[in-house]
């Protein structure tokens, strides 16, 4: 659970408590789960792609190298993981 989600839950709990104390209606926000892409997620994707089709390994290496000539996922800042995931999905589809 992210810090943002925890804060949202805390605010909701405070709103519910305030409403219970004042008998006011509670407006509960709908939470959409936020999944942050991790290095482990990307590694699993790379492994699956290569196991299914070894000829795609050079494409994966090139996709990683596009980020400061990275050789491995941990060399890439986490802010780029979403973009890399999209590239890996495109590689796996073709």
What's the pLDDT tens digit per position in 19-37?
A: 777 776 656 666 666 678 9
- CB atoms inside a 10 Å sphere around CB 70: 17
The model's pTM is 0.61
Task: Indicate whether 10 and 48 sit together in one domain.
Answer: no
Give the CB-side neighbour count of residue 55, counting CA atoms within 13 A: 1
Task: Indicate whether 24 and 52 sit together in one domain.
Answer: no
What's the pLDDT tens digit per position in 56-94?
A: 999 999 999 999 899 999 999 999 999 999 999 999 988
Please give the residue range of the domain that contains residue 49: 39-93
Task: Indicate whether 49 and 6 sit together in one domain.
Answer: no
Task: Indicate whether 54 and 29 sit together in one domain.
Answer: no
Task: Indicate whether 47 and 89 sit together in one domain.
Answer: yes
Task: Indicate whether 50 and 15 sit together in one domain.
Answer: no
- Say if residue 43's pLDDT is above 90: yes
Task: Indicate whether 58 and 72 sit together in one domain.
Answer: yes
Task: Indicate whether 27 and 43 sit together in one domain.
Answer: no
Structurally, the chain folds into a number of domains equal to: 2
| Contact partners, residue 52, CB within 8 Å, separation at least 6 | 92
Pair of tokens at residue 31: 């939470």
| Contact partners, residue 65, CB within 8 Å, separation at least 6 | 71
CA angle at 24 for the pair 18 and 30, rounded to the nearest 5°: 80
Task: Indicate whether 30 and 55 sit together in one domain.
Answer: no
Pair of tokens at residue 59: 């494409």
């Amino acid at each position: 659970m992210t810090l943002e989600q925890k804060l949202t839950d805390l605010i909701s709990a405070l709103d519910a408590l305030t409403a219970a104390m004042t008998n006011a209606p509670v407006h509960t926000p709908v939470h959409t789960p936020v999944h942050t892409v991790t290095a482990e997620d990307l590694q699993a994707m790379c492994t699956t792609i290569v196991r299914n089709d070894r000829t795609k390994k050079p494409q994966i290496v090139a996709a990683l190298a596009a980020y400061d000539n990275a050789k491995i996922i941990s060399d890439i800042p986490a802010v780029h993981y979403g973009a890399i995931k999209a590239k890996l999905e495109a590689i796996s589809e073709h």
